[in-house]
Structure 1
Amino acid sequence: MFSTPPPRRHAKPARWWSAWWRKRHPRDARPSRLEVKPPALWGQAEPVWLALWHWLREDPATEPMEVPRLELARQDFCAALNDFRSEDAEDLLYRAKHARSLRELWHLRAELYHLIACRFNQHEADRRMATVNQHFPVGTPGGRPLTTRDAHGHDHLAER
């Protein structure tokens, strides 16, 4: 009544194509883009023992005050928006000025990029974001650590 269908003859699996492509076009070891990672949740504040040590020192007024990393990041963030005003830009500036941590500021980066790219272009947004992104850890999209070859586009040892 029911007959079994004849066995299908499959063409070569699609894997042969990807293997052939990889062999002829080896992947460049450089990542296509760098991933800016958020700062750590813990360990941003000065340790208690170090704060106590600075408090107990005799003459703290003679040492120049160090500008905190958060304040430097805020300044660069606001400088990226300094030449245009809109309701969205003003709102973003307000939130950046009142960010309580580098992590909060990190989360505002996407909106900053969007505003700059819409106002100017992608190249200008990338240029301005480079100054903002210097305040955050950098890695690669796969979580692979950044190497000298990744950063410069070639291997220095291969040149010798």
Structure 2
Amino acid sequence: MSPTRLLQRLLRRRPSATVPPSRIEIRPPALWGQAEPVWQSVWSWMRQSPATGGARPTVLDKARQDFCAALGDLHGEATHDLSRRACHARSLRELWHLRAELYNLIAFHLNQTEADRRLAQVNRHFPARAAGTATNVLQSTDRHAQRHNS
């Protein structure tokens, strides 16, 4: 059996649920195609009654709330600045880029365990995949085999 086939068989049997949390890759939101279509926005706006008091929170609103909640009990100039930037972020991608600062501030003021816990609440709003997933490994081994067979 060739090494490529052996690797493919082994990877196929490996359960994906065994990937430890530290190996989960949080990916930035896509630049295009993630926004709600205009007709859906207009339709939901027209269906709202004045008694409801506004629209349902969007994914961005929920992400902002979780981001600011993670900073809730911290104080200082840097914390205030990050909270202000998070509250005024115009997209999930902007919030995604602020995650490293969030982690650093929480770890500095509290500890890394708490920073991991709080960042997990923020990360649930972003696309995730296991780092080094089988598809990536298989694609690289297929490319490697193609180069050697040519």
TM over 0.5: yes
**Aligned equivalent of 1:126, options 116, 122, 131:** 116
**Aligned equivalent of 2:78, options 88, 98, 107:** 88
Please give the TM-score of this superposition, normalised by the length of structure 2: 0.68
What is the CA–CA distance in structure 1 between the aligned matches of 2:15 and 2:40, rounded to whole Å? 45
Deviation at 1:144, TM superposition (A): 4.6
Gap runs ≥5 in structure 2 = 1-13, 136-150
Pick the structure with greater CA Rg. 1
> Aligned AA for 1:60?
Q
Calculate percent identity across the aligned residue pairs.
56
Following superposition, which runs of at least 4 residues in structure 1 exceed 3 angstroms of deviation?
27-32, 51-55
Preserved contact between residue 48 and residue 55 of structure 2 (Cα < 8 Å): no
What is the CA–CA distance in structure 1 between the aligned matches of 2:41 and 2:15, rounded to whole Å? 47
What is the CA–CA distance in structure 2 between the aligned matches of 1:52 and 1:113, rounded to whole Å? 37
The answer to whether structure 1 residue 31 and structure 2 residue 29 are counterparts is no
Residue matched to 1:148: none
> Aligned AA for 2:48?
P
Secondary structure, aligned partner of 1:113: helix
Gap runs ≥5 in structure 1 = 1-26, 146-160
> Aligned AA for 2:76?
S
Please give the TM-score of this superposition, normalised by the length of structure 1: 0.64
Secondary structure, aligned partner of 1:139: strand
The answer to whether structure 1 residue 141 and structure 2 residue 131 are counterparts is yes
